[in-house]
Structure 1
Amino acid sequence: MQTTSSRNGNAPAGPAGPGRQVTVCGLPVHPLTLEESVAAAEALIADGGPHQHVVLNAAKIVQAHDDPELARIIRSCSLVNADGQSVVWAGRLLESPLPERVAGIDFMQALWRSAARNAYRVYLLGAEAKVVQETARIAAGQGVKVVGYRDGYWDDSAEARVVAAVREARPDILFLAVPSPRKEYFLARRHKDLGCALMVGVGGSFDVVAGLRSRAPRWMQRAGLEWLHRLAQEPRRMFLRYAVGNTRFVALTASYWARLLTGRRGDA
């Protein structure tokens, strides 16, 4: 697999396929449907990479405003999707319309179908050992060529061995299922060493595929209430994130909206 050089030493190569971006709360998002996002991913794989994909939800936007390095990584990514109905709503309010939410798990499973069609080599990294093993079994059953998998539990001393194992497997796509911002930092730091065209952070998606967690009903997803379903499943872990994070996201969106209105008055 051939790779292109990155724009700087700590970030993967910039956009090569998706094209135009809009800005939501100071961060870039590609205004693409799920189908268009898969087509963009296929173009990035054909380009050779390394390319990093990232999704934005309310929590990550708040994190990025507290963490300039995470914001820089997001801006360097080749493909950025809105994984959160609240981000789609904020985009409309801020005159940066997005056609739809592209959830990370939907994007991953759509890419699996693409991988089966195009004979892409896939590596699964993250989650617990039994979970990633079951996820690999399910993906392979759907025609995906899974060339390797490993759990997401390693310390700094083992990172080089993890990276070497991925590189040796020569995947076209790496799916990384570890929490944010760990996955964004890992991919930005190691993108040159992993030896794959496209790196996709998928958070807790392996847990859902393996049956450890369930997704919200469709009506909750459309209503922007999937966070409530997750809170019900993991109240201790998710309460602070949603109670504080969602409030801060609303305040942040209101701040950008106020700036937009002020700018209009200034132009009048």
Structure 2
Amino acid sequence: MDETVGWIADRVDRQKFTQHVVVNVAKLVNMRSDHLLADSVHGCDLINIDGMGVVWAARLLGYDVPERVAGVDLFVRLIDLAAKRGFPVFFLGATEKIVERTSAVLMDRHPDLKIAGFHHGYFWDDEEKIVEIIRSSGARLLFVAITSPKKEVFIERWKEQLGVIFVMGVGGTFDVISGAVRRAPKWMQRIGMEWLYRVIQEPRRMWRRYLVTNTKFAFMLLRARIALKNESTA
């Protein structure tokens, strides 16, 4: 986390555009069939792992992954950075009520935070208008709270016209910050069971998603493990 925040801060200071994304089990599974999503992720300057399932899988395959960098935690750190450094921010996504409440909560926490603007995430009939609003706002950091793969594709499509230095997809972060959704207890986060907490909160919407993607990911990991074993014995 510290390395990520420091790297982003350095890039922003140098006015070097940075496109950030986090990957989890569901996203890695969906990238196998959604080529637009895959291209968007591969086009990013910085990729973090948000999901203990991916951390454990990577370690099992021999990759040295020190820790999970959860999107919501990184968002909180970057807002603190923006407030201290005077970087104007723009919030895009969620409902009008949620994004407005998110802005109010963050202004209460950080009185020095410069919010260049915010807009809800239901704008697909006129993307160019939204891009122009963001560009003319003077924002340097843009946080996009829209479901995957829409946010990744939107960012990849318009990144050169947004006028920002840093852009990050933050998924359901605004729901958490605004208080509309509760985050899993720390102990569940540590053992990688945050997904189960989400299923408990929204069973009808989440159970099928996690059942399907977790099962597919398990088979992906099994095949990769077998392939790695075969390579080592060849």
| TM-score > 0.5, shorter chain as reference | yes
Distance in 1, matches of 2:41 and 2:193, equals 25
Retained in 2: the 8 A contact 1:59–1:246?
yes
1:150 aligned onto 2:97: no
**Letter of the 2:165 counterpart:** A
Retained in 2: the 8 A contact 1:50–1:195?
no
Residue equivalent to 2:186: 218
Retained in 1: the 8 A contact 2:91–2:99?
yes
1:44, CA displacement in angstroms? 2.3
Retained in 2: the 8 A contact 1:119–1:145?
yes
Aligned with 2:215 (options 223, 247, 251): 247
Residue equivalent to 1:182: 150
SS at match of 1:193: coil
1:256 aligned onto 2:224: yes
SS at match of 1:175: strand
Residue equivalent to 1:160: 128
1:66 aligned onto 2:53: no
Distance in 2, matches of 1:61 and 1:87, equals 9
Deviations 1:138-193 (A, max 9, x none): 2222132111000001123x111100000001211100000000000000000011
Runs of 4+ in 1 over 6 A off after TM superposition: none
1:48, CA displacement in angstroms? 2.4
Retained in 2: the 8 A contact 1:88–1:97?
no
Retained in 2: the 8 A contact 1:176–1:201?
yes
Residue equivalent to 2:162: 194
1:111, CA displacement in angstroms? 0.3
Compute the TM-score of the two structures, normalised by the length of structure 1.
0.84
Q: How does 1:1-268 map to 2 (within 5 A)?
A: 34-141=1-108, 142=110, 143-156=112-125, 158-266=126-234
- The alignment covers a number of residue pairs equal to 232
Residue equivalent to 1:3: none
- List gaps (5 residues or longer) in structure 1: 1-33
Retained in 1: the 8 A contact 2:151–2:169?
yes
Distance in 1, matches of 2:54 and 2:82, equals 28
Identity %: 41
**Letter of the 1:167 counterpart:** R
Deviations 1:55-105 (A, max 9, x none): 010000001111223222212211100000011101100111211111110
Distance in 1, matches of 2:226 and 2:138, equals 48
- List gaps (5 residues or longer) in structure 2: none
